[in-house]
Amino acid sequence: MNHPITIRDFSAKTAQGDTIQLGKYFGDVLLIVNTATECGLATQFQALQQIHERYSSAGFSVLGFPCNQFGAQEPKDDEDVLKVCRDELNLTFPIFAKVNVKGKDAHPLFKWLVSETSGILGSQIKWNFAKFLVDRNGRVVKRYAPTTKPEEIVSDIERLIASSQY
């Protein structure tokens, strides 16, 4: 019997090069974001960090996936991306290795995320900082546009933290 696809079905490389099973986050509420340090929307990093800090003790995490597919706004290698995220931006949420989020070489996680949601471009991600909210059962609940500010998502995060049981 096939089970529905959830976050448990995926793995990803960390910025340090280790492959981890994303099932380790099963039971947490997640906000998965494709990021770029040189994007005009990179100002969202601080709000993402604040939300991560505020709700991490309640079983919430932001997961950042750098991507260079939009305007070449993440040209750095994984090590340099992590250095900027940790040393300059003071981010503590997980930063993964760079991935493609659209096209035939898109990471399987992002193929699944877009297949579970709809956006302005249908199954395409429009730009850096597209956001996907995943519940404690590892299912995609909602997709947010790149221009949606992280603080606008807080009520949805709080609702999932309060009500989600696995």
From 39, 48, 51, 114, active-site residue: 39
In degrees and rounded to multiples of 5, residue 9 shows phi and psi of: -85, 5
Residue 39 annotated in active site:
yes
**46 neighbors 15 (Cβ within 8 angstroms):** no
Rounded Cα gap, residues 59 and 69, in angstroms = 31
As annotated, the active-site residues are: 39
